[in-house]
Amino acid sequence: MEFNWTPEQLEQKRAVAEFASAELNERIIERDRSGEFPRDAWRRCAEFGILGLPFPSAYGGGDADILTTLLVMETLGHACRDNGLLFSMNAHMWSAAMPLHLMGTDAQKVKYLSPMCRGGMIGGNGSSEAETGSDVFAMKTKAERRGERYLLTGTKMFVTNAPVADALIIYATLDPSRGIGGLCAFIVEISFRGYSVGRNMEKMGLRTSPMAEVILDGCEVPAENLIGSEGSGMAAFNCSMEWERACILASCLGTMQRQLDQCVEYARVRKQFGKPIGEFQSISNRISEMKLRLETGRLLLYRFGWLAKTGKKAHLEAAMAKLHISASFVASCLDAVQIHGGYGYTTEFEHERMLRDAVASRIYSGTSEIQRNLIARYLGL
């Protein structure tokens, strides 16, 4: 592995940090309280080139490789304090745009990927259902071929961006008896007949990232909106999840770095019993553990990125990075609250919000339990 960044990558990191600090941190406490989606910030991110970062320039993207993409996403997590906005962008890029990039037709890329890169279309994905949870491939949503269209029937739950999306990648099965062999992925526009957004879902954290259920009542989808071929839904889902697990967690690493910086500074200036609290082992040990979690998480994440860039399989590394970083994120948030004492519990210091946001990292993109199962499977168990 190469641990040095090029001058161009470092300049891009600096520019992203400057942009995010100046443009993406407005009214965060108020927006979190009201659950307001920051549409203006989304537009600024698109104009800056973040939404199209890893996609081809032919479709409005930035042609960035995966290591550069991870570096940018980590930098965003450090400079942007709105984890909800980052979560929505990650859902848009990895669960909607990435399957289009890797498996879509040229016509699909022109119609959907290009506006997703440029910010003219917000995307997401509909895979989870109320009764299936983490067992994604036991989904009940049905797809029926009718001439030059498919009719989709079912309800999707926990759909990130659903209240603001223009199009979603929806997973449905042609025949449940075929298992994953019947699974298909479709590009579904919100204007299609039979599509509707159900109730909004209030959440513990990531409140500026809207979530809702999506109802498909014989939703009419043109046949040309099938991604890949019939039965290739699992391939589309897996490619999006591998990117999502890695890149969402890059943002988490950036937040952990910012949190560590804040805790170190606070431990230097906050005094108790006549000396800085950083001189107490109960505080310094917590900060040492935060640093250890951060650096081990980085090694796991960038090893995944290096393997992926060099064309090697990295499924195991993606699962390990997801499992370790998500657990570390929650642990470090708890430490930050404890280090700041009563202040850490207040809204003003923002650590309580980071903790609420962090809890979801052990659930989305495959729960921690699912990651352990995947790791065991890749080890041959």
Q: What residues are labeled active site?
A: 244
| Beta-bridge partner residues of 150 | 145, 221
Other CB atoms within 10 Å distance of the CB of residue 315: 17
Tokens of 39: 């549409």
Alpha carbon distance 40, 85 (integer Å):
11
User: Max CA-CA distance within the chain?
Assistant: 79
User: What residues have CB less than 8 Å from 191, skipping those under 6 apart?
Assistant: none
Burial of 105 (0-12, 13-18, 19+ CB in 10 A): middle
Task: Count Cα neighbours of 99 within 13 Å in the Cβ-side half-sphere.
Answer: 32
Give the integer Cα–Cα distance in Å for 90 and 341. Answer: 32
Residue located via tokens 């991870």: 70
**How are beta strands 275-276 and 271-272 bridged, if at all?**
antiparallel
